[in-house]
Amino acid sequence: IEQDVLSDYEWEVMLRTIQGFEESTSLDWGNRWGNSENRDLVMFRNLKWLIEEVYPDKKFVIWAHNAHIEKTGVIGSPMTWMGHLLADHFEEDYYSIGLFALKGEAYIHWTGDTLSFENSHPDFIEARLAASSRETSFLDISSLEPQSENKWLWESVAGREFENGDSIRFVPAERFDAIINVFESDVPTFD
């Protein structure tokens, strides 16, 4: 492709796309965790460029797995994910929403299997939020102050994330600004 066929913007997007693709496909996945961090660094740099240079006056919604958009990590994890970098760089302009489900089925992409699950133990965040008797709940933690009925949001709780090793522990108010919890989820179907 000749550069004069594309606008400067299109040329820059194409070059950055190729560079990001090259960076992410050249990672040595024998070191899964270290290169997951490197992949998230590539994603962060790309988003930062889009936010600051391409669309500086726009708001963004980034939909990704909880680990990639969290503001701080799960307890015991040394990983630095894209969300950590976004939260550090954009500070109060970064708003992170975690997504959880009480029960249902999940597709495990690395095995191709479907797994049934239920998080009804009272220590799991999914069960605590489902106690509201709503099929879907949204909790804006950033607008709350710790009180007796919600102090658990500032304490360690369990949650289910198969990609993070199944059961994890985290402090909700530190990890996310808000949480969406659905009563039941299902695996996607494709036509």
Kindly write down the DSSP assignment for every residue of 171-182, as one continuous string: -HHHH-SEEEEE
pLDDT band for position 180 (cuts 50, 70, 90): very high
Query: Dihedral, CA atoms, 127, 87, 37, 113, nearest 10 degrees?
Result: 30
Q: Which of 134, 62, 128 is nearest to 97 (CA)?
A: 62
Residue 137: the pLDDT is 86
Q: Which two tokens stand for residue 179?
A: 């949480």
State the DSSP H helix or E strand holding residue 155, giving kind and residue range, or none if neither.
none
pLDDT band of 87, cuts 50, 70, 90: very high
pLDDT at position 13 over 70: yes
3-class DSSP state of 104: strand
Percent of the chain with pLDDT over 90: 43
The pTM score is 0.83
